[in-house]
Amino acid sequence: MNQFLYILLGLVAGIFAGMFGIGGATILIPALVFLFGLTQHQAQGTTLAILVPPIGLLAALKYYYNGNVKLGMAGFICLGFFIGGLIGASLIQNIADPLLKRLFGIFLLVVSLNMIFTK
């Protein structure tokens, strides 16, 4: 069941990445902390492992060597993210730029308020 939830999280993050160019810090880290109970360090390390090639490789290795990467979880989320990115990029192509800017701003506002006002 967890593998399905990990893929679903990756799918959602991938869709948002495809639509808005975001996913790691704004979707994955809060979800891993609030929904899956990871520590902030584990969430950041696991997210880096998901996004490794090639950008986060050295940072992900540092987190991994300190025990803060959940490789199994990262693999399943990566699978969903890969497919979700294509879906999100396809969905957003016909959205007008002013609306896209507003949607992106609303999304960031919701995430920031959640990070500020929840445990």
Break the chain into its structural domains and give their ranges.
2-117
Per-residue pLDDT at 113:
92
Per-residue pLDDT at 5:
95
Dihedral, 34, 36, 41, 47 alpha carbons, nearest 10: -100
What is the full per-residue pLDDT of the chain (119 aa) written as tens digits?
799 999 999 889 888 887 777 776 788 888 998 899 998 889 888 887 887 666 667 777 888 999 998 999 988 988 998 898 889 888 888 888 888 888 878 988 998 898 899 87
Helices 57-65 & 40-50 angle (0-180, nearest 10) = 140
Per-residue pLDDT at 109:
93
Per-residue pLDDT at 73:
92
Helices 40-50 & 71-92 angle (0-180, nearest 10) = 60
